[in-house]
Every structure is written in structure tokens, then in C-alpha cells.
Chains A and B, each alone.
Chain A
């Protein structure tokens, strides 16, 4: 099959960047989207051109490296998957595919489709942990956890930190990401000790980094490759409110 690729090319963080359109004819519907880009890059290289730079690593939907805004959706038009799991079967022969980097003030472009997501790390290190030293842990069974809470904590913890929520949100808000971590720890007894401090520090850091506010649009939930629920945002709102008023 053939496709027309309209890709954002930007030489480095300071360069202006623009869209370039390419025709690429050697596409097989069995390829994954990234394999198509690999093949396209090989073509560019042998033609003496610079390949398209993009982040990728595990290619099995779990590391959260790949980050492309494809045809108006983070990770492409299929819900519940990352870019690396997107198959070329999902596109029509002759289709124009627009590929952009995540757009957010807090995620500046480094090169082409590669963005700087250290903002996420900064939020995590502001408080996304339980302060338990190695060697000081009590026997694991000394603290039973209600199964439902454990399951909910897991459902929040599956966030892969890809940033699709920020990319999808019309306000470039990071609430779903932050709330997933806040929720995971708030739901577990181990995390309760620092819960108040944690939510305040993480929210303050998030605000500092220039992410937008939540307008409860829920595009994040719709586009999250791990389908993390916005009930986590509500839980964070609740945690933060309780922390502030108590």
C-alpha cells in the first residue's frame, strides 16, 4: 500500500521546524506504524537524507517511550494502544497521515518527533514515592489491603508515563498522570502516612512546570493507551482538598 506522510521536521530545540510531506510506497499492511517509519527512514538514509528522529524502545506498549500525534490523536486513531502497537492495517491505501510531536509548553521538542518529558520525572520526584528505606520494611503480610483498594491502586499504577494525556488535553494538563500516582499511593495503607504532603507537593510542581488546568473534558481518559480513569483525577481533587482544609 501507499501512504502520504506529513511529518513535523525540526532540526533541534531552537530551530523553527515545519511540516514536510513525503510519498512512501513500500508499505505493507502487516507493518506496525513504527516499522513503517523504520522502513521510511532506511529510504531516507539511502537517499542521503536525515532520518526522522523519534523515541521508541520496548515496542511492546509498556515503556512509554513512543509519543506521536497521528491524525489528530495521540498514539493514533485506535484507542487503548501505544504508537508501537498501531498497525498499518488501520490506515487506508493512499491515505495522508499527519504525524506531529506532543505539543505542550512543558514538553519542548528536542528534534523532529522527540520531545523532552523530564517534566514528568520532576513531578514524580517532588513526592511520587513512599519513604521506606531498604531493609526497614515490615513483613509483607503485616498490613492487609482490601482487595478492591489493591485492584484500584493497580489500575492507577499502570500508567506508562507516555504523556498522551497531556497531548490529548486541550489545555495540555497533566492531571491524569499526576492523579494516577497520587491515587495509587492514597489507596494503599502504606502510602497514607505521606498522602497529604505528597498530593500538595506534586500538584505544586505540576503547576510550576506550566501544565494547563483540568476542565473535565476527559480527552485524557479517551486517549490514554492504558485507559486510566478520570475517577483518579477526582480522587486527587478530594485528597488535595482534604489536605488543604485539614
Chain B
């Protein structure tokens, strides 16, 4: 895709729509993950994981999701390169005047999230596809992959938990700017609703970040 192919604003629309779409995915993912905490046996989680892994609609949708990621990342990188090119000579002394502090680091937080995504996919998704996940033996769910066990095993490793926690804090920072920013990019800024959207943005960032972090922390300390 040529950098000039779309106007700066069109790229922003795609960026924000893709971002909002990925946010929906995060919410679904979080809900399923939280099942691990509410059901000690891990049954609910496994059922959900099995459903997500086998339902044909979800399977088809998976590719849309990958597409969303790809577009979000690609355009993010293009925008960033253009932005760097727009100021070839930097300032010697620069003070802070940005209102939205995390906005300065979207590319950095984005890259970290991308790296995590690669590791995460190798850990779970690839293993699942490759059929190395242990099967559940006995009970109603016999024969399904026991994803729950895999997750719990991972989160017994202190280093992994620390890495996971850090990444999700960073995701929080990313989202904190991203959510409200998407509305601005789409032209949905209004004196009446924008303060609420900004509040919601912080709220979503905290919920997703804390939500994902709670799982490894609970597993590590309490299971």
C-alpha cells in the first residue's frame, strides 16, 4: 500500500475503526478468560474455548480479526513513518504540552503489544492448532482440549506473570488514549458527550488492563 494512497484522514478513519473492532475482541477475550476465575474446575473456560475454537462462524470471523490486526498495525506504522518524516530536524529543547500524554507513545506501546501478540499466539494458538494441547479426560467434556490447564501452567511461572502484567499495563496506556481518540478521528467530538467519552476511555483502559492482570495474579498466588 502506497503511503499516499489514502488521505491522512481516511487512514485515521481506518485506524480508529480497526481499533474499535479490536477493542471488542479484547472485551470478548477478557470475558472468557475471567471464566477461569469464577469456575475452579476450569470447565466453563474450556467450554467457551472449545466453542470459540470450533464454531464455524467464529472460525471465519477469526480471519477478519487477523485482518483487523494487520490493518491497524500496518496503517499505524505508515502514519508513524509519515509523522517522523514531517519533522526531519528535531527540536533541541522540548517541553510537555500534550493533553493526552500516552498519545506520544502509541507506536511504542503498539510495538510491545505486537511482540506480546506473537509470543501469545505461539503459546496458545499455535499449540492448539498443532494439537499439542492435552485433552480433558473423563467427565462431560471428555475429548475437548484442556486449554484451562495450559493457561494455569503458564501462570505458575513468576517471570511469565510479570511479563504478562507489564504488557497489560502497557495495553492499558494504549487504550487510554485510543478509545477517546477514535471518536475524535471519526469526527464524534461534541461538547456534551466528549467529557463522558474521555471518562469512558479511562474506564475501559483500567477495566481491560486490570481484568487481564487479575487472572495471572490470582492463579499465581491462589491456585
**Contact B189–A100 (Cβ < 8 Å):** no
Known: A105-B87, A203-B9, A213-B12. A98 touches B93 (CB 8 A): yes
Q: How far is the CA of A73 from the CA of B95 in the complex (A)?
A: 6
Q: Is the CB of A213 within 8 A of B11?
A: yes
A228 within 8 A of B: no
Q: How far, in Å, is B5 (CB) from chain A's closest CB?
A: 11
Closest to B101 in A: A217
Across-interface contacts of A223 in B (CB, < 8 A): 97
- Binary B-proximity of A113-149 (CB < 8 A = 1, otherwise 0): 0000000000000000000000000000000000000
* Interface residue total, chain A, C-beta cutoff 8 A: 48
The answer, among B13, B95, B104, B191, for a CB contact under 8 Å with A170, is B104
Among the listed stretches A23-31, A46-54, A235-243, which one makes contact with chain B, having 4 or more residues with CB under 8 Å of it? A235-243
CB–CB B184/A230 < 8 A: yes
Interface residue tally on B, bucketed by range: 35 or more
Q: A203-B9, A237-B187, A241-B186 are in contact. Are A19 and B99 (CB under 8 A)?
A: no
Determine, out of B78-86, B118-126, B213-221, the stretch whose residues face the partner at the interface. B78-86
The verdict on B138 contacting chain A, using a C-beta distance below 8 Å, is no
A55 within 8 A of B: no
A66 to B190, CA, bound (A): 32
Are A206 and B8 CB-contacts (below 8 A) given A170-B98, A234-B187?
A: yes
A211, B86: Cβ atoms closer than 8 Å: yes
Q: List 14 A-B contacts (CB under 8 A).
A: A71-B95, A72-B95, A98-B93, A100-B91, A100-B92, A106-B86, A211-B86, A213-B12, A214-B8, A218-B100, A231-B194, A234-B189, A238-B186, A240-B187
